[in-house]
Structure 1
Amino acid sequence: MSQPPVTTLDVRSAMEGAGALVRRSRPGEGVPEPFGRQFQSSAALLLVVERGELTVRVQRQEVALRAPGALLVRSGVTVSGWDGRSSDYWMVLIEAGLAEHIGTVEGLPMEVARNFDAFRDVMADLDEPLGLGSATAQRLGFLLRELALELEDRDSGFRMATRSLLALILVQLRRQQQLQMSREFSQDHVLFSEVLDYIDRHFDRPLEMGEIADAVGRSPAHLTTLLRRSTGKTLLGWVTDRRMAEARRLLVETSVPVAEIATRVGYGSPSYFTRVFGRHVGESPARFRSRNRRRVR
Structure 2
Amino acid sequence: MKRARKPSESRRPKLVTHLSGSDWVALRRFSPDLAAPRPSLVHDHASAVLYLEGSATFWMQGLYTLGPGDLLLVPPGAQHYAVSASGARALGISLSLSRVPAAARDSLAAAFDGVRRGACASRRLGREACKSLERLFLDLERELASASAVRDVAVDAYVSLVSVAILRARDGLEAANRTPSSPLVARALELVHRRASSGISLRDVAAHLARSPAHVASLVKDATGETVVGWITRARMSECRRLLGSTDESIEAVAARCGFASPSHFHRAFKRAHGVAPGAWRRAHRSS
The TM-score, its normalising length taken from structure 1, stands at 0.44
Tell me which structure has the larger Cα radius of gyration: 1
Higher-RCO chain (CA-CA 8 Å, sequence separation at least 6): 2
**Taking structure 2 as the reference length, what is the TM-score of the superposition?**
0.45
